[in-house]
Amino acid sequence: MEIFKTKLRKRLVIAGVYNGFVIILFAMGYMVSKRYDVPDIAVGFTMGFFVGLQFVIIYYMAKYAAALKIPEKLKLLYIEENDERKKFIESKISSIALNIVLGGIIFATIVSGFIDGTVFFTLMITMILSLLVKGILKLYYRKKV
Q: What pLDDT, on the 0 to 100 scale, is given for residue 87?
A: 86
Question: Alpha-carbon distance 43 to 29, whole Å?
Answer: 8
CA-to-CA dists, residue 65 to 18, 22, 71, 87, angstroms: 16, 21, 11, 23
Q: What pLDDT, on the 0 to 100 scale, is given for residue 109?
A: 95
- Enter the pTM of the model: 0.70
Q: Are 103 and 131 within 8 A, CB to CB?
A: no
CA-to-CA dists, residue 97 to 56, 92, 104, 134, angstroms: 22, 8, 11, 12
3-class DSSP state for residue 94?
helix
Encode pLDDT of 4-55 as tens digits: 999 999 999 999 999 999 888 888 877 887 788 778 887 788 888 888 999 9
Q: What pLDDT, on the 0 to 100 scale, is given for residue 91?
A: 84
Q: What pLDDT, on the 0 to 100 scale, is given for residue 12?
A: 96
Q: What pLDDT, on the 0 to 100 scale, is given for residue 72?
A: 94
